[in-house]
Structure 1
Amino acid sequence: MLEDQSGTLPTAERSWSVDDAAALYNVDRWGGDYFEVSPNGKMIVTPLGSRGGRIAILDVVEAAMRDEGLKAPLIIRFQDILHHRVRVLNEAFSKAIAGSKYRGQYRGVFPVKVNQLREVCEEIVEAGRPWHYGIEVGSKPEIFAGLALHTDNESLIICNGYKDDGYIRAALLGTKLGKKVILIAEKLSEVKAIVRIAGEMNVVPEIGMRIKLASRGAGKWAESSGEKAKFGLSTGEILEAAKILTDAGMTRSFKLLHFHVGSQIPDILIIKRAVREAARYYSKLRRAGHPIEYLDVGGGLAVDYDGSRSTFHGSMNYSLEEYARDIVGNIADICDEERVPHPHIVSESGRAIVAQHSLLVIEAFGAIERSTAAERLPTPSLTEHKLIKSLGDIVAHIDERGLVESWHDLQETKEEAQKMFELGLLELDVKANVEAEFWRVAKRIHEASKTIDPAEFPDDLRGLASELWTQHICNFSVFQSLLDHWSFGALFPVVPIHRLDERPEVEGILVDITCDSDGKISKFIDKKEEYVDALPLHRIGDAPYYLGVFLTGAYQDIMGDIHNLFGRVNEVHVFLDDDEECGYYLEETINASTIGDVLQMTQYDARDLAGKMKGQVDAAIKQDRLKPTEGMRLLAEYERGLREHTYLSF
């Protein structure tokens, strides 16, 4: 219910304000430094937090459409946010190091798997240059891209993932170029392979080892940690690997110890426990004579998607500053206790760098709303039909009989109508009006039920709200743009980007245009519960109605698929600029996939398809089914369609 979503939603008798909207959609919680609601009801982005300008997201959508011809669905990237995120991460560690008199440096790396798009990686590399902020790669394609992107030889390239000879040789090529490339051994055989190939290439490698900690992560990615993790070495294997290096005369190549307790860790206690365990491993190895210089704490820095500041899997119960202080402080404590040097600290934060910088704008172009159907129906031919009378009797006695009994009677009448129809005893116009009146009365019962104390709410009415939810039909594909929501129920903030100065009239879910019942957004963030099943929405009028799906910059760009052959969407990159009258400019636009593009991905060739269609048109002309002029026009229309985008065009 609307009241349940905000806890402070004003009654219909009181006026609506944008503050009510900010509370209802929890913007003041998940929006952090970057998102807010303007006095005129538009969603605003502040890419540099409190230090920079403000941009109305709807203005960007309209500018992209007007100036570049780009329609929704549309990804908007606010590239200044990437710079801001890199800065605040590095400043948090710098402050923590200074505050604890830590005797090592922070050398962060961005894991490119979180968003491999060139424009994103280039901005992050450039933003991180003042802090020698590096990159992490986890596959052969990523190391090839990473070598070219990396231009600061003081920053690190961390090489994770399983490796073959080709991967190792590419990494060592970077070493020969003077780059600080550290190959992380995920299994014992990789240590032997690195030693062998380094000898063949006449280069001294820098090697790290990933340790399997007993400490486990939490949330959706807990299985990536612990002693049964997919990657990493046991304690015995670490010692054996160190002996292999010693026997090969490469003792000094053992540069880094790495661990990873999973992505999106919501609870700071898990991070603290893992850091202390890893610091103990580091200290014991240092005392044994291994000259390790870096301790890589992996990823896990979370994003508060729902704004609850809790241990829900989509949230986090700590701040960035607390995260940095706890890592630095716990490593320092263990090292001081063991009397070993403080290592340089590496972290692999990806989600926390890129999640906030992009959002998906979708247009709702239609709605399925049961309770309004009666308004569009003609008067039935049998206005005095007993079923119509039964419905009228239910309405007349709601107060007398109570909501639960009225709901039972209403359901019974609907079932009776269905049975009569199956027996051929009910005409279509009467059936249609019975169904429409059913939903109208159901809505009245639902509205009346909102005054019931939640502790005394009848079980029989609990499912009524969901029966009345609208389905806003949106021009996008969940499978292409929000795969994490479909695959494991990841939550993203969803908010209308305009009309927030208007009270939402309905609750509903968002359905996409794929031919798949799973193509929907049906779980939404909530400040009280882990999630809610419906979103407050406005009714769709003559003007476009746009919704923003926020915090989508991590993984969604890369992991989307082409289910139903819906491809990549239009994209626009935005930068703040005080010299511009509007305060920003569209730096780059990327057109969506065309129909021809996605067909090519499934082994169709656009020219071959056009050629086959031409053959069919020619045959139709010869058989006098088409005139030549009409045939050529239809063929041109087909060829033009192959160059159009895969989404609907309004």
Structure 2
Amino acid sequence: MSALEQFIDDATLVASAPSLPVPPFCFGAKAKVFPDNAAVANYEKSDWSPSLSSTLYRVDGWGPPYFAVNSSGNISIRPHGKETMPSQEIDLLEIAKKGYGAHYQGVFPVKCNQDRFIIEDIVKFGSPFRFGLEAGSKPELLLAMHCLCKGSPEALLVCNGFKDAEYISLALIARKLAFNTVVVFEQEEELDLVIELSKKLDIRPVVGVRAKLRTRHSGHYGSTSVVADGVSEAAQIYCELVRLGANMRVVDIGGGLGIDYDGSKASDSDVSVSYTLEEYTETVVKTLRSICDKRSVTHPVISSESGRATVSHHTVLIFELKQHCIRQFKQGALSIEQLAAVDGLHLMVSKAASEPSSLPVHTYRMNLSIFTSIPNYWGTGHLFPIMPIHRLDQRPTMRGMLSDLTCDSDGKLATYIGGESSLPLHELDGNKNGHYYLGLFLGGAYEEAQGQIHNLFGAPNVVRVESEADNPGGFIMTSALLGPNSGDLLQAMRHEPKAMVEAFRRRAEELGAVGGNQDGLVTEALAGGLARFVSSWPYLMATSTWGMPPVTGNGFF
């Protein structure tokens, strides 16, 4: 027990003093106030006020300028004395409470990354904290139900998104299977469906309502002031629903917890935030607690859907630069031989004399598709940290703009962290082992989920790595998942690879017959080679998958 708690426990109120409203107050091990019985009775019958308490305990005398009784009837600390603004006052009761009256249990929005292993890990390691999942479609709900079979029975399964009868039925069945399912209404029509289907299935639903806040923010909360505004509005709505008789239990503040992608700590940036995780959580809890206390509403369980903050750091996209292209000459004033000589001389002088910021700029080819692996850059201009993962003990001698494998003018990265139009890079020929690898960081949220198959480039290969607790710096590759091959990508667009190969075979047979090839050897070899192409990886390979010796006789190879 603290000294303050012991003091409060020792304080006694005894009726014997002859006068009020200014009774004698004795400081010591036991504080005693001695009002007379009649006066106490009179005060019990009248409306007591914080100002009377201030007079009773002589706060008006010993408190200024640092202590006062506030309108809530609590002692306030004014840290700046007379200069303290009302918003700067500290309610001493909040300190005495030492916490929040409920707990936190978040949910991971599956839309951020539907990868099985990621979600299974979130459920596994989040189980002691009742961490759950949020789904926005029927496939996501099925996925979430399956993963939560091994999660905490208290974990929330939040069902968002627009819903038809099948979606709601699946959510109700999940409730029947003892998942802690909450159906969140997006529109009024869903209420009628839930009532109808819950009666039909004899399942009592748990429901929530989405609040369209007037506090606006784009993508994520850039500052704690915006966080406080949004949470304040949500808390007031929650308290109003309680006042109207709703049996409320949880406030889900949604997403919005931002990631500092460029390290600028800027509140007005689309790729940065000006607060820490601790400042964010303190703002949320303090705001909810303050409003609920003022409205005499029990503190709700706090939930959030901070998907980006949960998984952004888990993925590093590693890609190889396969080549860099010589700058195109456009004017026609020099021959190609002259251009090569001038470029070579310029490069040699620049490497010897230039600072990294003024190095010559070349185009480096990435062995990936921006539309597949970095869709948010193409779609929204979102920036990610990109840098070499090795050779960092060497001074960069070039600056590069990165271009992908697609035949699209948008398939290039023209802007980088810090507003730069190029990256300081190393010369490819300087790497003795022939490989030069770059990494894209903080791309664990949305990039894998939103990737397209533009030019029929599919997802890259994925390696799952875990650290070894008993081996500092050691790691284990627990799985390696190959990306889709050419046939898989063709099937995704409703083509039939087997039918394609068979059509190629028939065409080869027809052409072989015309060319006089009667033994069918060339036809079989050609058809077999085409079948291997269908099962090959769409990205650049170090060796060919063709693997067929040259055939002479009819010009096929």
TM-score tier by shorter-chain length is 0.7 to 0.9
- Alignment CA distance shift 1:105-1:98 (3 Å): farther
Aligned-partner Cα distance in 2 for 1:97–1:584: 44
Counting only pairs closer than 5 Å after superposition, residues 305-344 of structure 1 correspond to structure 2 as 305-311=261-267, 312-344=269-301
- Alignment CA distance shift 1:98-1:639 (3 Å): farther
Partner residue, 2:409:
517
Residue 191 of structure 1: how far off its partner (Å) = 1.6
Partner residue, 2:452:
561
**Matched position secondary structure for 1:558:** helix
Partner residue, 1:494:
386
* Bigger radius of gyration: 2
Residue 630 of structure 1: how far off its partner (Å) = 3.1
- Alignment CA distance shift 1:123-1:98 (3 Å): farther
- Alignment CA distance shift 1:589-1:446 (3 Å): closer
- Alignment CA distance shift 1:442-1:544 (3 Å): closer
Whether 1:431 and 2:319 are equivalent positions in the alignment is no
- Alignment CA distance shift 1:438-1:97 (3 Å): farther
2:477 corresponds to which letter in structure 1?
Answer: L
Partner residue, 2:204:
204
Partner residue, 1:605:
496
Say if 2:467 and 2:473, in contact at 8 Å, map to a contact too: no
Residue 602 of structure 1: how far off its partner (Å) = 1.8
Partner residue, 2:234:
278
1:601 corresponds to which letter in structure 2?
Answer: A
1:357 corresponds to which letter in structure 2?
Answer: H
Say if 1:163 and 1:190, in contact at 8 Å, map to a contact too: yes
Aligned-partner Cα distance in 2 for 1:444–1:504: 13
Residue 97 of structure 1: how far off its partner (Å) = 12
Residue 272 of structure 1: how far off its partner (Å) = 1.1
Say if 2:351 and 2:397, in contact at 8 Å, map to a contact too: no
Say if 1:265 and 1:313, in contact at 8 Å, map to a contact too: no
- Alignment CA distance shift 1:514-1:625 (3 Å): farther
**Matched position secondary structure for 2:417:** coil
Partner residue, 2:327:
370
Aligned-partner Cα distance in 1 for 2:540–2:353: 39
Q: Deviations over 1:430-487 (max 9, x none)?
A: 6224544665787799999989xxxxxxxxxxxx979x52110111111111111111
Q: Which of 118, 121, 128 is the equivalent residue of 1:120?
A: 118
Aligned-partner Cα distance in 2 for 1:298–1:570: 32
Counting only pairs closer than 5 Å after superposition, residues 464-479 of structure 1 correspond to structure 2 as 468-479=360-371
2:413 corresponds to which letter in structure 1?
Answer: I
Partner residue, 2:510:
619
- Alignment CA distance shift 1:287-1:361 (3 Å): same
Q: Deviations over 1:56-78 (max 9, x none)?
A: xxxxxxxxxxxxxxxxxxxxxxx
Aligned-partner Cα distance in 2 for 1:290–1:613: 67
Partner residue, 1:169:
169
Say if 2:252 and 2:302, in contact at 8 Å, map to a contact too: yes
2:135 corresponds to which letter in structure 1?
Answer: V
- Alignment CA distance shift 1:448-1:574 (3 Å): closer
- Alignment CA distance shift 1:365-1:294 (3 Å): same
Aligned-partner Cα distance in 1 for 2:176–2:327: 68
Partner residue, 2:531:
639
Whether 1:505 and 2:397 are equivalent positions in the alignment is yes
> Structure 2: 5+ residue runs without aligned partners?
1-93, 543-557
Say if 1:370 and 1:436, in contact at 8 Å, map to a contact too: no
1:555 corresponds to which letter in structure 2?
Answer: Y
Q: Which of 124, 129, 132 is the equivalent residue of 1:131?
A: 129
Whether 1:532 and 2:420 are equivalent positions in the alignment is yes
Counting only pairs closer than 5 Å after superposition, residues 135-150 of structure 1 correspond to structure 2 as 135-150=133-148
- Alignment CA distance shift 1:588-1:445 (3 Å): closer
Q: Which shifted more, 493-502 or 284-293?
A: 284-293
Q: Which shifted more, 599-608 or 155-164?
A: 599-608
Q: TM-score by structure 2 length?
A: 0.74
2:443 corresponds to which letter in structure 1?
Answer: T
Partner residue, 1:182:
182
Q: Deviations over 1:535-577 (max 9, x none)?
A: 1110102510000111111111111111111112111100112
- Alignment CA distance shift 1:491-1:97 (3 Å): farther
Q: Deviations over 1:408-448 (max 9, x none)?
A: xxxxxx95x54xxxxxxxxxxx6224544665787799999
Q: Which of 462, 482, 494 is the equivalent residue of 2:374?
A: 482
**Matched position secondary structure for 1:370:** coil
Aligned-partner Cα distance in 2 for 1:300–1:321: 15
Identity of aligned residues (%): 35
Aligned-partner Cα distance in 2 for 1:118–1:642: 27
Q: TM-score by structure 1 length?
A: 0.64
Aligned-partner Cα distance in 1 for 2:491–2:107: 35
Say if 1:183 and 1:206, in contact at 8 Å, map to a contact too: yes
Aligned-partner Cα distance in 2 for 1:189–1:286: 23
> Structure 1: 5+ residue runs without aligned partners?
1-95, 222-263, 374-413, 419-429, 452-463
- Alignment CA distance shift 1:332-1:581 (3 Å): closer
1:267 corresponds to which letter in structure 2?
Answer: S
**Matched position secondary structure for 1:588:** strand
Equivalences, count: 441
Report which of the two has the higher share of helix: 1
Aligned-partner Cα distance in 2 for 1:617–1:370: 42
- Alignment CA distance shift 1:270-1:511 (3 Å): same
Moved beyond 6 Å, runs of 4+: 96-99, 440-451
Q: CA RMSD of the aligned region, Å?
A: 2.7
